[in-house]
Amino acid sequence: MSRPAKTRVPKIGFVSLGCPKALVDSERILTRLRAEGYEVSPTYDAADVVVVNTCGFIDAAVDESLDAIGEAIEQNGRVIVTGCLGARPERILERHPRVLKVTGPHAYEEVVGAVHEHLPPLHDPFSDLVPPQGVRLTPRHYAYLKISEGCNNKCTFCIIPDMRGRLVSRRIDEVLREGERLVKAGVKELLVISQDTSAYGADIKYAAASWRDESYQTRFIDLARGLGSLGAWVRLHYVYPYPHVDEVIPLMAERRVLPYLDIPFQHGSPSVLKRMRRPAHGQDTLARIQRWRKECPELVLRSTFIVGFPGETEAEFEELLQWLDEAQLDRVGCFKYSPVEGAAANALPDHVAPEVQEERYARFMERAAAISAQRLSARVGRKMRVLVDAVEENTAIARSEADAPEIDGVVRIAKAGKLRVGDWAEVEITGADAYDLKARILPAQ
Ligand code: SF4
């Protein structure tokens, strides 16, 4: 059989903004387009059409998205917009009336349909080869695994449920099969993401399914159990401190999944948490953290916080600092509250003045940095396994079990020698600062 003559391959430019969940959406769209014979262009110039996957979480992200759309229009002219900001097309069209099409978050079919309409695919089965793990935007050795879309919570500062809808979980067997495929394709670390990982499966009544001849339910603990059997690092993000989360701690102690929990606590004062309408706000989180650490002393906790939420008094802020001192979290991010168009918190009384927010932010960060530095210095002298993300000259930038990519610190290994991206390395920690560690490679046993 002779190979059909090939005309010019259609090329897509792609700009992916926002959180890891949006990144997974981008990967899905690109996987589908690649499977249909489109090529991905690294420059605006060479692209026939540019897709911009936007973020609309806070006003700063909206501005960044609108700027990115503007840049794509200026440089290329033919632009399709998707993602969270796409849920508010009027915002986009008002500033950029020339965009070809606007679609909302996780509207894969619609985006692909818009691409077909404006840049028809060229069917060539010989170029339709897509690697088994699909197209991924993360390095080959780690991958985000999205287990659900949407959210059933109603945090007052957030409009994600309005934009992305209510919780829709993927059935457990589908998720486990995807995890299996990724690990077979060389992925060494799976990062589980969603809006609320602890709520996984609630919408489909924890549907049962079988995988590798074993029965699993679509629920948090079975997810950890199944993924934990794949032999990769499994990192759990966006978990809330509900009682059922306790069940995963023994799996962490046995290293079936990484002893790492990303819990966006957002505050330590019960009254602020109530005003925020945070999931699990009634739980005694300090007692829970203490129990977890007793059961799994290696447990690393990362979290994010909001300071200067409407109505936050000095006493409530002090309560947060006190909470932080007691919780001794390993990794902490902090935002100054900023209103999001359409969020319920906008209507709350007593918004905190920007200079007070600034001052509280600085105090909070100082306290958090001191805790982080002290916890990291306790690791000096320890031996551990790390995963190499990059090699710059003769220094490898790696991560330990305690560090998620992009958001946590790194382990710098001088004299990296033969280490390559995606390698495991056994190292001894030789130094620490407030966020990162230094290490030396241990001689092979
Ligand atoms: S848990 Fe709260 S902050 Fe997170 S997506 Fe749901 S409503 Fe928004």
Q: What is the mean pLDDT of residues 355-382?
A: 95
| String of DSSP letters for 231-270 | SSEEEE-S----GGGGGGHHHHHTTSS-SEEE---B-S-H
| Closest atom of ligand 1 to CA, residue 158 | 8
Cα angle 274-278-284, degrees, rounded to a multiple of 5: 75
Angstrom distance (rounded) from CA 439 to CA 442: 9
Type of residue numbered 442: L
- Tell me the average pLDDT of the chain: 89
Angstrom distance (rounded) from CA 356 to CA 187: 45
What integer pLDDT is reported at residue 7 of this predicted model? Answer: 57
Cα angle 144-148-152, degrees, rounded to a multiple of 5: 135
Q: Tell me the C-alpha to C-alpha distance, in Å, between residue 34 and each of 9, 123, 137, 431.
A: 11, 11, 13, 44
Binned at pLDDT 50, 70 and 90, residue 351 comes out as: very high
Higher pLDDT, 43 or 309: 309
pLDDT digits (tens, 9 = 90+) for 94-146: 899 999 999 887 777 788 888 888 888 765 433 344 555 566 677 789 999 99
Give the distance between the most distant pair of CA atoms in the chain: 78
Task: Give the distance (Å) from ligand 1 centre to CA of residue 45.
Answer: 38
- 333 sits in which H/E element: strand 331-336
Angstrom distance (rounded) from CA 209 to CA 194: 20
Higher pLDDT, 241 or 105: 241
Looking at 113-117, 229-233, 367-371, which range is the least confident one?
113-117
Binned at pLDDT 50, 70 and 90, residue 4 comes out as: very low
Angstrom distance (rounded) from CA 26 to CA 128: 18
Cα R_g (the chain), whole angstroms: 23
Task: Give the distance (Å) from ligand 1 centre to CA of residue 154.
Answer: 6
Task: Give the distance (Å) from ligand 1 centre to CA of residue 53.
Answer: 20
- pLDDT for 214 beyond 90: yes
Angstrom distance (rounded) from CA 249 to CA 258: 10
pLDDT over 90 percentage in the chain: 65
What integer pLDDT is reported at residue 130 of this predicted model? Answer: 53
- pLDDT for 216 beyond 50: yes
What integer pLDDT is reported at residue 138 of this predicted model? Answer: 72
Judge whether 48 and 12 are in contact, CB under 8 Å: yes
Task: Give the distance (Å) from ligand 1 centre to CA of residue 374.
Answer: 31
| Closest atom of ligand 1 to CA, residue 240 | 1
Task: Give the distance (Å) from ligand 1 centre to CA of residue 128.
Answer: 38
With the most atoms of ligand 1 within 8 angstroms of its CB, the residue from 106, 146, 151 to mutate is 151
- pLDDT for 156 beyond 60: yes
Binned at pLDDT 50, 70 and 90, residue 445 comes out as: low
Partners of residue 272 on adjacent β-strands:
none
Contacts of 293 (CB under 8 A, 6+ apart): 299
Judge whether 222 and 263 are in contact, CB under 8 Å: no
With the most atoms of ligand 1 within 8 angstroms of its CB, the residue from 158, 164, 203 to mutate is 158
Type of residue numbered 326: E
What integer pLDDT is reported at residue 395 of this predicted model? Answer: 93
Tokens 């074993």 belong to: 214
- 307 sits in which H/E element: strand 300-307
Tokens 């796409």 belong to: 86
Binned at pLDDT 50, 70 and 90, residue 403 comes out as: very high
With the most atoms of ligand 1 within 8 angstroms of its CB, the residue from 196, 262, 340 to mutate is 196
| Pairing mode of beta strands 142-146, 168-169 | unpaired
Partners of residue 66 on adjacent β-strands:
none
Higher pLDDT, 233 or 20: 233
Supply the residue whose CA is at minimum distance from atom 4 of ligand 1. Answer: 195
Ligand 1 neighbours, Cβ below 6 Å, are 151, 153-155, 158, 160-161, 195-196, 279
Partners of residue 233 on adjacent β-strands:
189
